[in-house]
Amino acid sequence: MIEKCKVQEPHTEPEQRWLSQWKKNQPQFNALAASALIFISGGMSIAWGAGFAAHSSHRQRLTLHMQICWYGAAILGSIIGAQLSYRVAQRPVYILGSCLVLSCGLLFVLFPDHSIAIIVGRYMDGLANGLVFVPTLCSVGEISVYSMRGMHSAWLDQLSCNLGMLLQLLYTALWCTEWNASIVADQVHGVLSLMCGITALGLTMILCVESPIYLLLRHNERTAVQAIRYLQSPYLVTSETCLQLDEHKHYVTSNRKLSRSRSLLIGLPALIKLSIFRILNALTLTLVIWSALHETGRGLAEYIHTWPYVLFGSLRFLGSLCGAVLMDSTGRKKPTLVGALTSGGLALSYAMICHCEQFTSSALAMLICFQFFAGLTLTASSVYLTEAFPLSAKSHFVAITYILELGTRMMFTLPSSYAGTVMYFYGMGGIFLVFFLLAILSLPETKMITLMEAQEKFRKLFHFKL
């Protein structure tokens, strides 16, 4: 057993291929893979509440309470998660979250026609997502090497959530009530959530590794070395392990020098930027968006209007997938700028087309393509959340951005008129373009640098470099 890791000088090696690098660092993703499955279930629930549950037995009597209960529970969960982060180990939190998702799935499977059971299930799923969101986004940057931090963060949050949305849209589009199947649509939702919960529970028990930062905060250097060892393949203590330990110790020491008030002050500019970023995430999938997609698809193809759902969800997922792949090569800022500019243009184009005439094929194309570039734009928000904030304020600031995102979703849970939908897209397009200008001036590029260096970049208000 190694008591203390002596730092060695780095040695030069040939550049590894991407696949070999992924294989070497895969344990870092596996350590938080349970969160990804919980977020998949959360993505399904967000889409369900936003209107993408066409064959649900509750679709015709979908109450406001049934829609917003998930968001309220997620807000409560994020508050609890912020208090638990860096105070308790992650494994118990992930176990609780997995059990809540599992219970949600059981309620959907066993009582698909009972409104109270569905509401309780959505409360459980929302609480699970809120509980694990804060510790996951805080720790993913701490356990990942700097060359994979962007991809790991994006895969855990945006990609997983969008995959859940895609699954919800797929079975919504493909489900046919004339099949006379013995299982109803909401039971499919329950089976998928049940699978996510069971798998997440198993992964937590087998693969979960605590953040070395959490261990160093408790002056447990020996266990921190072992954690770093288990976060790489093969599980050996090498010179690279020692360098990572030194980097983590520098991060902890530097943040300990900051007072609580100083940390809050330093993190405030980043909080404002990322809150706007996450609010954009909420605006791209609401009941208004569903209404626009539903009416456009039905107006063009009355009997096959579900196919736009598949394209809608697939392109959003592909957009976030492209963004995740680019995070550690092209960087965070360039995909965000390209996506924001294009998303704003597409949203305004959709609004102008619908303002002049009823829903057309051009409007449908604009709406579906918008989701691809929205997915591309928003991928970097997950990465920035794990990099931007000082350690003592990180969990609370991550929770605040998440709460603002959920609050925005709750604001747009009421049905919208045709004119209201057009105005919504005008407003959203304008917000995307304003964000594009702000991003050029204020978002830093943080690829291929340490977590401490990324945090220091966020202390500045302006960043003009692409």
Domains of the chain by residue range: 21-209+258-457
* Mean pLDDT, range 258-287, rounded to an integer: 94
Residue-level pLDDT at 416: 78
| Rounded distance between C-alpha atoms, residue 382 and residue 309, angstroms | 25
Summarised one tens digit per residue, pLDDT across range 314-354 is 999 999 999 999 999 999 999 999 999 999 999 999 999 98
pLDDT grade, residue 246 (50/70/90)? very high
Over 60: is that where the pLDDT of 171 sits? yes
Which of 227, 321, 320, 205 has the alpha carbon at shortest distance from 28? 227
Q: For residue 301, what pLDDT band results from cuts at 50, 70 and 90? A: low
pLDDT band at residue 143 under the 50/70/90 scheme: very high
Q: Please give the distance of CA 112 from its chain centroid, rounded to a whole number.
A: 27
Mean pLDDT of the chain: 89
User: Within a 13 Å sphere around the CA of 186, how many CA atoms are in the beta-carbon half?
Assistant: 22
Strand, coil or helix: 259 = coil
Contact 290, 346 (CB under 8 A): no
Composition of the chain by helix, strand, coil, percent to 5:
75, 0, 25
CATH number for the segment(s) 21-209+258-457: 1.20.1250.20
Residue scoring higher pLDDT (61 or 446): 446
Give the per-residue pLDDT at 98: 98
At residue 26, the 3 state secondary structure works out as helix
Q: What is the per-residue pLDDT across 100-137, written as a single tens digit (0 to 9) for each?
A: 999 999 999 999 888 899 999 999 999 999 999 999 99
Mean pLDDT of 91-97: 97
- Contact indicator for 211, 231 with CB cutoff of 8 Å: no
Q: Is the pLDDT of residue 99 over 90?
A: yes
Give the model's confidence band at 58: pLDDT under 50 very low, under 70 low, under 90 confident, else very high. low
Confidence of residue 9 (pLDDT cuts 50, 70, 90): very low
Look at residues 253, 271, 243 and name the one whose alpha carbon lies nearest to residue 213. Answer: 253
